[in-house]
Amino acid sequence: METLYFMVEELKTNYHPPFLCQNFYHIYNKAVGSDQLFYTDENYKYFLKKFSFFMNNVVDTYAFCLLPNHFHFLITPTANDPGLISRQFKRLFISYSMALNKQRGRKGNLFQKNFKRKVVFGEDHLKNVVHYIHVNPLHHSIFTDFRNYPYSSYKIIVGTGPTYLKRTEVIDRFSGLNVFIDFHTKNKIDIWKELLSFEENA
């Protein structure tokens, strides 16, 4: 109940917890208004390339999902400077916005000014956040089989190719790959809708 209380308080007050190295954070941001962040396959890939460039030296990444108008990441800070992490996110958003604005002939802000972050409390919460991030395309009726969605970390985690994601650490949190896969196939919609979905309040 204490965990739920703090989660609700963060949601109600738009509280932005400081980035501390020992914590996991669920990161979320979306496009302004009715705009989109990603229009083409190249847009998605370019954003992930930029994320790697700006963020890999300051955070470890455990899961992600990009959707047309928003994104989710699960990270832990590796830099002891909380301000640096926020500045790197800002640089990421500016860099990507400039490229997309040029490509599409648009002007102005692309991302909402303040990205949202929530501390992840405990192992159960962590597993549910990973699950929620991966099934987000299904939640938004964008893709019928989240396991084959091309712009999330699910296929990367169950795969064997090179990656900057903390694949082994994620699988270990679930006590093995088979448990990870089984956890994702079970219906947990009520859980992640109640506890984890904070995008509607952004």
pLDDT per position as a tens digit, 44-79: 999 999 999 999 999 999 999 999 999 999 999 998
What is the reported pTM?
Answer: 0.86
> Which residue, among 152, 154, 24, 156, has the nearest Cα to 78 in the 3D structure?
24
- Banded model confidence at residue 138, pLDDT cuts 50, 70, 90: confident
pLDDT per position as a tens digit, 162-198: 999 999 999 999 999 999 999 998 766 555 555 555 5
Domain 2-201 has CATH 3.30.70.1290: yes
What distance in Å separates the CA atoms of residue 98 and residue 100, rounded to the nearest whole number? 6
Give me the residue spans of the domains in the chain. Answer: 2-201
